A and B are shown apart, each in its own frame.
Chain A
Amino acid sequence: MNAVADSHDVIQVRGARENNLADVSLDVPKRRLTVFTGVSGSGKSSLVFGTIAAESQRMINETYTAFLQSFMPSIGRPDVDALHNLSAAIIVDQERMGANSRSTVGTATDAHTMLRIVFSRLGQPYVGTSGAFSFNLPEGMCPACEGLGKVTTIDVDAIVDRSKSLNDGAIDAPNYGVDTWYWRVLAHSGLYPADRPIREFTEQELDDFLHKPITKLTIGGTNVTYEGLIPKLQRTILSKDRESMQPHIRAFVDRAVTFATCENCKGARLNEAALNSKIRGVNIADCCAMQISDLAQFAHSIDDPSVAPLLATLRNTLDSLVEIGLGYLSLDRESGTLSGGESQRVKMVRHLGSSLTDITYVFDEPTVGLHPHDIQRMNNLLLRLRDKGNTVLVVEHKPETIAIAITWSTSGPARASTAGTSATPVTWPGCGPLAR
């Protein structure tokens, strides 16, 4: 069988000049594991991410209509003479997952979604559709903390110096300095004197200053919306997520705000109805708080033909998470708190179960954050992806992973201006014992 179609066994890169690459030409074997290594700044990423993966993704995007393309990120054509025999590329990088407190390991892997459906079908008593178990939807969330599991309280004494008057700068919060707009609305409101120390305020004045709900006031002939300091800070600053705040705002929040577990749901994020619905005496919040390895056992113990296909997928996802070495996490862990290596492995779970083949998987340092003991496990996962018939390209420095590769190329010899000349790809003769 010497069909022409079988002759595309290598990805050919000819004359790559992205960033500091110096006219690099090389062949990368398909359906093999290739490691790219070299000192930092030598051009590994430029070759793998900037050239091979970028061109592949650009080609895929080009198959969509111009209308759709205008909504997609536009990727420039990499600076290269020719690229042949590319296949569709999937990049698994170390980009942290969204730092949103509504995103958890459960929501990111879809395990939580499946669990919700299971509970909506089997949970006793019946409380509604799967939406009733979601802390991100009004029908499921805890009414007190709106599904965050945490409530914030502002320490008044950390932001208000009671011995000073407003004119002397009694408020110590960003954007509330003397003569700023926010300050003027407070100081000129006429509800309390701006030149008297805060501790001499009457009870009514203090309440207006700190807690008055939104009201329309006329200050010097202009209509202004007045709001007490605390609700205003809560609305303008605390509604944002800590991770996405500007550094100086975050420093303020760390100083003035205490995060406490929501009294109402005890951190479970859900309303009472959802928490009362149980399977074998366990509610969905308990499931999410379990270590994933324990939850996987629980999922295996449920046996109900009406949700069998769904349970099978759920078990599969949980088992993959355990296998990949993340069995110690729980589904309610916020994704923003995962380390770079952990989020990369969470993203990897999606691909392990996929039945697509002939994909080019591109990994950025998959062993980062792994103890030598865990590296072996990661290596096995990479080999499994390869054995399914995929091309696996890995940017890596650890000798342990370099050892399992069949071919590798090392870029260098030095870096920056002199770098990128790329060693001619060194091919390992055949498949030695280490290559398997």
Chain B
Amino acid sequence: MAGLRTSGTLTGRHLDHRAKLRAEFRSPKGFLTINGARLNNLKDVSVDLPLGVLTVVTGVAGSGKSSLIHGSLRKRPGVVTVDQSAIRGSRRSNPATYTGLLDSVRTAFAKANGVKAALFSANSEGACTHCKGIGLVYTDLAMMAGVATVCEKCEGKRFTPEVLRYTLRGKNISEVLGMSVAEAREFFPSGQAHTVLSRLHDVGLSYLSLGQPLTTLSGGERQRLKLAIHMAEKASTYVMDEPTSGLHLADVDQLLGLLDQLIDAGNTVIVIEHHLAVMAHADWIVDMGPGAGHDGGQVVFSGTPGELVSDSDTLTAQHLKQYLS
């Protein structure tokens, strides 16, 4: 491990990085009450979840965290849940189509040139006729692996030459799709498109190009793309199931910043999480346990992380103490 620590890589530097407990815990604006929850192994659990702060619900696997939160909160109004399921994407979908960004981009192009918006979609009228808008030509070799070659007609640009002649502020649609989120954010200084792009920037995806097929995104990138979409939904309470899965230690810090941003805007964030850095960053911790299955299903601690470390002796408290020392 010493070698990695001194290697100077991002991972090496983050191995010893420790999130600290907050100096001051934000005070709750009210409470969301769960009364007598009995789903699965829950033993008549009643708990108050503070509003307007970052709450982490934790506990060993099988202790009833998800049963408590999903079972009791999912159907309440104003609650948006981000679960663990992976987003699926075909080779036709990319960050622009998935976030709905392409719609406003297409409208902008159509308005500027006085033509139909459908021309600016690679899945519709504007698509290169040879590769059907994929930019690649797949040759099926029966039982051998297929071969993908760049379409010779559009040279991978995915659109017909006629469509590529229309420009918006000097760029054609293919060039816009080739931009990274950061570049596009400057290119669209206002409106719906800017809002979507800013959100992608906030979750740390500013390096992603708009037209990159979703099939080539990594797990962590997909996870954050999903977060960006859910943040767009109008809600006052966000419930996230393990948002750090697939994230590197360095990316977790960015996620914490994002959660703070949500809370500063007056929202409530409830996170089901095991990551110690997230626990340390929380304003409120609900610890489920003490064990798994029928040994669990109770709230063993509910309070600020400071109190958890100083007053409690649950499994989580022990590990958090170790982490912070």
- Report A's interface with B, CB cutoff 8 A: 19, 37-42, 44-46, 58, 66-67, 69-70, 74-77, 94-96, 291, 293, 325-329, 339-342, 364-365, 368-374, 397, 399, 402-403, 408, 410, 412-417, 423, 426-429, 432, 434
Contact = CB atoms under 8 A, between A and B. Distances in A.
**Which of B3, B61, B293: most chain A CB closer than 10 A?**
B61
A67 B3 CA distance: 50
A368 B245 contact: yes
Contacts of B248: 37-40, 42, 397
B145 A58 contact: yes
24 contacts: A38-B248, A40-B219, A40-B248, A41-B220, A66-B142, A67-B143, A70-B142, A74-B146, A327-B292, A328-B62, A339-B66, A340-B245, A365-B245, A368-B242, A371-B319, A372-B274, A397-B248, A410-B10, A413-B9, A413-B10, A414-B10, A417-B207, A423-B7, A426-B4
Chain B contact residues: helix, strand, loop or mixed: mixed
Of all A-B residue pairs in the complex, the 3 with the closest CB atoms, nearest first, are: A40-B220, A328-B293, A328-B62
Contacts of B208: 416
B1 A371 contact: no
B87 interface: no
Given A328-B292, A364-B219, 7 more contacts: A41-B220, A69-B143, A96-B86, A326-B61, A328-B295, A365-B219, A369-B245
B84 A340 contact: yes
Contacts of A408: 4
Contacts of A325: 61-62, 292
B1 A370 contact: no
A410 B9 contact: yes
B112 interface: no
A434 B4 CA distance: 14
Contacts of A399: 15, 249
B95 interface: no
A428 B3 contact: yes
A265 to B, nearest CB: 20
A254 to B, nearest CB: 9
A289 B302 CA distance: 31
B296 interface: yes
Given A40-B218, A342-B61, A372-B274, A410 B7 contact: yes
A371 B245 contact: no
Contacts of A432: 1
Contacts of B180: 416
Chain A contact residues: helix, strand, loop or mixed: loop
Contact of A328 (B1, B41, B219, B220): B41
B61 A41 contact: no
Contact of B221 (A40, A76, A95, A402): A40
A41 B221 contact: yes
Given A373-B319, A426-B3, A70 B143 contact: yes
Interface of B: 1-4, 7, 9-12, 15, 41, 58-62, 66, 84-86, 142-148, 180, 207-208, 216-221, 223-224, 241-242, 245-251, 274, 276, 292-296, 315-316, 319, 323
A28 to B, nearest CB: 16
B274 A329 contact: no
B83 to A, nearest CB: 9
A341 B61 contact: yes
Contact of B274 (A19, A42, A371): A371
A377 B26 CA distance: 35
Nearest to B222: A40
A417 B246 CA distance: 20
**Which of A58, A372, A414, A427: most chain B CB closer than 10 A?**
A372
A199 B247 CA distance: 56
A328 B86 CA distance: 25
**Which of B180, B216, B219, B316: most chain A CB closer than 10 A?**
B219
A408 B319 CA distance: 25
A102 to B, nearest CB: 20
A64 to B, nearest CB: 9
A423 B9 contact: yes
**Which of A342, A370, A371, A415: most chain B CB closer than 10 A?**
A371
B32 to A, nearest CB: 22
Contacts of A416: 180, 207-208
B59 A291 contact: no
Given A76-B146, A416-B208, A370 B249 contact: no
Given A365-B246, A372-B319, A434-B1, A410 B11 contact: yes
B130 to A, nearest CB: 21
Contact of A369 (B12, B242, B249): B242
A147 B135 CA distance: 48
Contacts of A368: 242, 245-246
B316 A397 contact: no
B11 A41 contact: no
